[in-house]
Amino acid sequence: MASNEDDKTTEADEALKGEAKAAPADASDADHDEDAEVETSGGSADHDDAGDDAGDDEGGDESADDDHGGHDDDDHGASAQGELYGVLAEFDTPGGLVKAARKVKDAGYTEFDCYSPFPVHGIDDAMGIKRTVLPIVVFCGGFAGTVGGAFLQWWMNAYNWPWNVSGKPAWSIPANVPIAFETTILAAVLTTFFGMWIFNKLPQVWHPLFRLDRFTKVTDDGFMLGIEARDRRFDLDRTTELLKKAGATEVEPAFLDPDPAAKVMPRWLWGVIIATTVMALIPFALIFKARASKSSQPHWHIFGDMDFQPRAKSDSAFDEFPDGRANRGEIAGTVATCSSGSSLPCDDDRYVKSDTAFYQGIEAGQWITGLPRQIDVSEALVARGKQRFEIYCTPCHGYDGQGAGIVSERVKKLGGAWPARNLVDAKAGVVTMPNGQLFNTISNGFNTMQGYASQIPVDDRWAIVMYVRALERSQNATLDDVPADRRGELR
């Protein structure tokens, strides 16, 4: 084998000399000439050329034999190889490869590459490879993700479909952080993934060096350096000489395949790609079909124990207990302590919920008209009521309480009607409504208005009642409400 290879090298060398003459320094001209040559050899397919090609595929020894096999006198011997791609040099050790790479770089070559079975330390430096720009590109991708994520949320929440949720701002940075973070990661990852492919010029299913048998050693014990003929310093003899001096054990020229079809992806590979893509879509198609169609068969339970859990719903029958009920009711002797978020101490006995005036606005079966004893009227409490009102009530009732909040207005604009009650108009009924009933409306809602008991603590609800009263007073004021000594200022 080794001797065969040697033969082949020298023979190819010779062939190449002829070729090198035929290929002038002017690159475009060279291309032209080669193309013509390729065509000639393609046209004469009944020649041994075809056999030569096949031999190449079959294995090293054979192709070497083929080369011997009477081609020597064949004029087309060289052109059957196709255009010169470059030279491939083999080195004994990784160290030798690094040294040679440095020499080749120092000689001014740029179009060359090293091939080794494992990463060789220091090779990038020796070859003069610069740091990749991928991190910068990934940073830009990630940053675009951050900005894009934030913009997306602004556009949806504050511009395209603004929605008032309890008076919260439509767009605020803190709420945007998680999604902007996610889009950052997503964009950065996609940039990394596709950047890797693009910068490495992948996918590449074909390479001229694959045509050399020697090159297969690269995956095992071969340390190779290839210089491309398109390098402006390339000259077959001198480049070969340089590599030999740099310690190469073998230097071998590499040629492109004369058949242009060898450079394109084979048809069957396209077939495989299309077939696997289609097959990969089948599960999704099945899921889609299952979701979109009806069946009389019960569906599959992939996690049966999650779909059928042994548990009792609150008002269902349950044999384990003597009374046959799942609901155990209130445990005797327990009392409610305080409402969450309360400003009063939780051990205060006034928080026992039997105090209906405070908790329900009812005393002796009637709405209370005054205030429960727990509520001390103060400016601070009215201010608290104003603040809570503006969070929870203004979206519908408006800041002035007249019912023109943003939600009602939007419904109107969209052609519907959902007016919130005018809370301050003396004729609308709320002004004369007992405090207890107003408290109850806030707690439990009224008709289409939902209750706020779960969101607003009891004393805040009373604070809102007081603020509604203040709103009503301010908008239904008469001259009698103005202190006598200041009435003069009104005119």
DSSP 311: -
Can you tell me the distance from the alpha carbon of 437 to that of 468, in angstroms, rounded to the nearest whole number? 13
Of 97 and 424, nearer to ligand HEC (C-beta) is 424
Cβ contacts of residue 72 below 8 Å, gap of 6+?
11
Beta bridge partners of 252: 88
The string of DSSP letters for 141-180 reads: HHHHHHHHHHHHHHIIIIIIS---STT--S--HHHHHHHH
Distance of CA 126 to the CA centre of its chain: 37
In the chain, how long is the greatest CA-to-CA distance? 129
The distance of closest approach from Cβ of residue 342 to ligand HEC in the complex, given in angstroms and rounded to an integer, is 17
Closest CB to ligand HEC among residues 115, 439: 439
Beta carbon nearer to ligand HEC, 114 or 433 = 433
With respect to ligand HEC, which residue has the nearer C-beta, 211 or 397?
397
Nearer to ligand HEC, 126 or 420 (CB): 420
Nearer to ligand HEC, 172 or 450 (CB): 450
How many degrees, rounded to 5, is the angle at CA 159 between CA 158 and CA 161?
80
Structure token pair of residue 483 = 């202190």
83, 127, 382 from 218: Cα distances, Å: 23, 18, 84
d(CA 71, CA 36): 20
Cα separation, 319 vs 322, in Å, equals 7
Instruction: Please report, as ranges, the residues that interact with ligand HEC according to CB under 6 A.
Output: 392-393, 395-397, 407, 418, 420-421, 423, 429-430, 438, 441-442, 446-449, 452, 464, 468
State which residue, 212 or 396, has the beta carbon closest to ligand HEC.
396
Residue 419 beta carbon to ligand HEC: minimum distance, rounded to whole angstroms: 6
Residue type for 38, please?
V
On whether the CB atoms of residues 187 and 142 are closer than 8 A, the answer is yes
Q: Residue 368 CB, nearest distance to ligand HEC (Å)?
A: 15
**Smallest distance from the beta carbon of 424 to ligand HEC, in angstroms?**
10
Q: Between 115 and 452, whose beta carbon lies closer to ligand HEC?
A: 452
Q: How far is the CB of 350 from ligand HEC (least distance, A)?
A: 23
Q: Which of 107, 81, 184 is nearest to 139 (CA)?
A: 184
Nearer to ligand HEC, 116 or 441 (CB): 441
Q: How far is the CB of 319 from ligand HEC (least distance, A)?
A: 44
Q: Phi and psi dihedrals of 366, rounded to 5?
A: -120, 150
Q: How far is CA 368 from CA 174, 364, 435, in A?
A: 43, 9, 6
CB of 395 to ligand HEC, least distance (A): 5
Radius of gyration of the chain (CA): 43
Running DSSP on this structure, what letter comes out for residue 227? E
Which is closer to ligand HEC, CB of 124 or CB of 409?
A: 409
Closest CA to 96 of 221, 212, 208: 221
Nearer to ligand HEC, 166 or 200 (CB): 166
Residue closer to ligand HEC (CB basis): 15 or 420 = 420
Partner residues linked to 225 by β-bridges? 89, 114
Tell me 317's DSSP state.
B
**In degrees, to the nearest 5, what angle opens at C-alpha 13 toward C-alphas 116 and 25?**
90
CB of 456 to ligand HEC, least distance (A): 6
Residue type at 455?
Q
Q: What would the two tokens of residue 252 be?
A: 């071998």
Residue nearer to ligand HEC on the CB measure, 98 or 463: 463
Closest distance of CB 176 from ligand HEC, Å:
25
- Tell me the C-alpha distance between 437 and 424, whole Å: 15
Query: C-alpha angle with apex 153: 150 to 155, nearest 5 degrees?
Result: 105
DSSP 8-class letter at 23: S
